[in-house]
Amino acid sequence: MELMQDPVRLTPEACKGVLVFAEQRGGKLVNVSLELLTIGRTLANQLGAPLCAALLGQGVADLAGELQHYQVDEVHVVDNAELANFQDETYATALTAVIQTLKPSIVLAGMTNVGRSFLPRVAAQLGVGLTSGCTALSLDGQTLVATRPAFGGTVYADVVCEKARPQMATVRRKVYEPAARQATSGGTVVNHTVALNAPKAKFLENVNELAGALDLTEADVIVSGGRGIGGPEFFDTIKELAKVLGGAVGASRATVDAGWIDYSHQVGQTGKSVKPKIYFACGISGAIQHLVGMRNSDTIIAINRDPEAPIFNVATYGLVGDVKQIVPALIKRFSQGR
């Protein structure tokens, strides 16, 4: 086993501007990358420095051109067969190389599974911190102030890394509005050649048995079921309401542990953190472990028999009654429209 050498750290004087990691999957930019271009532009303007994007992949010239429609000053591209799919080591080597050449003051990436997997490797190579899962970014002079929840969202902290460069952060989805596409393109594309060896951990294939199902973390509407729905059968009714509303299906930990529904649906501390426009909590009592995963939703609708249930403390609208009667009534009413 080789112990890596101590990194040569970049100095604040040598660094300027903002670099956004433009994550693409299957040749399409993920939404959070466009959201990062919004805050990236704000920070770059305040710093009086350029906003750059880093794009990794194979055959991504068109996508680089597309990024030029988002008021980006420079698009830095590494186009390589080893980047065709996400692989931690090659992604980390490529982005680290771009950072060492460009020397940005701030590097931002989305808190996606890809971002969370390889950004720590980049930060470790550069010997700098990485403030993970931020919900707000601002500047104090040249210093990035990154706000993030900890302890499952029971406390928030402002974190700074004033001496280290770059200042790196991953940002949660839907914190910022996506950047608006401009009709005209601008800025320049800079191609980087990075030598990439075959990684030790190789991508084989993506398997998606639920292809076409809505991604919980991107859904605008989520209908979640909890222990109060009584059994696995009622998830069919939950799914029907989700379908009527064009939403995705979520679940509490209790229902997942009971085997009523797959873990990929779980919302909360040991599941997914979501922020839809509308969140329906059906028969969910509202344990803190569930609340931390959904309390930032725009509108929360709670359906519960017990008017004292803690879920009503975070609910925009509380529907008191039998979830088995109310959910079908909602399906009927929302199917009618008007």
Partner 1 sequence: MNIVVCVKEILDSADVKFDAQTGRLVRDGQPGTINALDEYAVEEALRLKEAHGGTVTVLSMGPAKAEAAWRHAIAMGADKAIHVTDEALAGGDTVASAYALSRALARKGDFDLVLCGSETLDGNTAYVGPAVAQNLGLPCVTFVQKIEQIGDGKAVAQRMMEAGYDRVETTLPAVMSVVKAINEPRISSLKGKMRAKKEAAEVVKAADLPGASAERLGATGSTSRVTRTFPPQGRPKGTLFEGEPDAIADQLFNALKG
| Binding residues for partner 1 restricted to 6-25, rule: CB under 8 A | 6
| Binding residues for partner 1 restricted to 59-88, rule: CB under 8 A | 85-86, 88
- Cis before residue 310, ω within 30 degrees of 0? no
Query: Does residue 53 contact residue 19 with C-beta atoms inside 8 Å?
Result: yes
For partner 1, the binding residue among 11, 154, 188, 191 (CB under 8 A) is 154
In angstroms, give the least distance from the CB of 259 to partner 1: 10
Q: Does 90 bind partner 1 (CB under 8 A)?
A: no
| Binding residues for partner 1 restricted to 258-277, rule: CB under 8 A | 263-264, 269-270
Q: Does 279 bind partner 1 (CB under 8 A)?
A: no
For partner 1, the binding residue among 160, 189, 190, 244 (CB under 8 A) is 160
For partner 1, the binding residue among 46, 210, 230, 305 (CB under 8 A) is 210
Q: Does 145 bind partner 1 (CB under 8 A)?
A: yes
Query: Does residue 57 contact residue 79 with C-beta atoms inside 8 Å?
Result: yes
In angstroms, give the least distance from the CB of 190 to partner 1: 26
Q: Does 162 bind partner 1 (CB under 8 A)?
A: yes
In angstroms, give the least distance from the CB of 257 to partner 1: 9
Lookup: tokens for 103: 């020397």
Q: Looking at the DSSP assignment, which residues form a beta bridge with residue 165?
A: 10
Per-residue interface string for the shown chain with partner 1, residues 215-234, x marking contact by CB under 8 A: x-xx----------------
Q: Does 329 bind partner 1 (CB under 8 A)?
A: yes
Sign of CA dihedral 302, 307, 313, 319: positive
Helix axes 113-126, 88-102, angle to 10 degrees: 50
Q: Does 3 bind partner 1 (CB under 8 A)?
A: yes
For partner 1, the binding residue among 61, 81, 157, 180 (CB under 8 A) is 157
**C-alpha distances in angstroms, 30 versus 24, 25, 227, 232, 321?**
6, 7, 33, 33, 39
Q: Which range, of 45-53, 56-64, 69-77, 155-163, touches partner 1 by CB under 8 A? A: 155-163
| Strand bridging mode 221-225 / 248-251 | parallel
Q: Which range, of 14-22, 42-50, 58-66, 194-202, touches partner 1 by CB under 8 A? A: 194-202
Helix axes 323-336, 235-245, angle to 10 degrees: 20
Report the 10 Å Cβ neighbour count for 111.
Answer: 22
**Residue 60 or 130 with smaller CB distance to partner 1:** 130
3-state secondary structure of 328: helix
Angle 140-166-116 from CA coordinates, rounded to 5°: 105
Q: How many CA atoms lie within 13 A of 183 on its CB side?
A: 0
Q: Does 183 bind partner 1 (CB under 8 A)?
A: no
In angstroms, give the least distance from the CB of 24 to partner 1: 13
Q: Does 91 bind partner 1 (CB under 8 A)?
A: no
- Give CA–CA dist 79/189, Å, rounded: 12
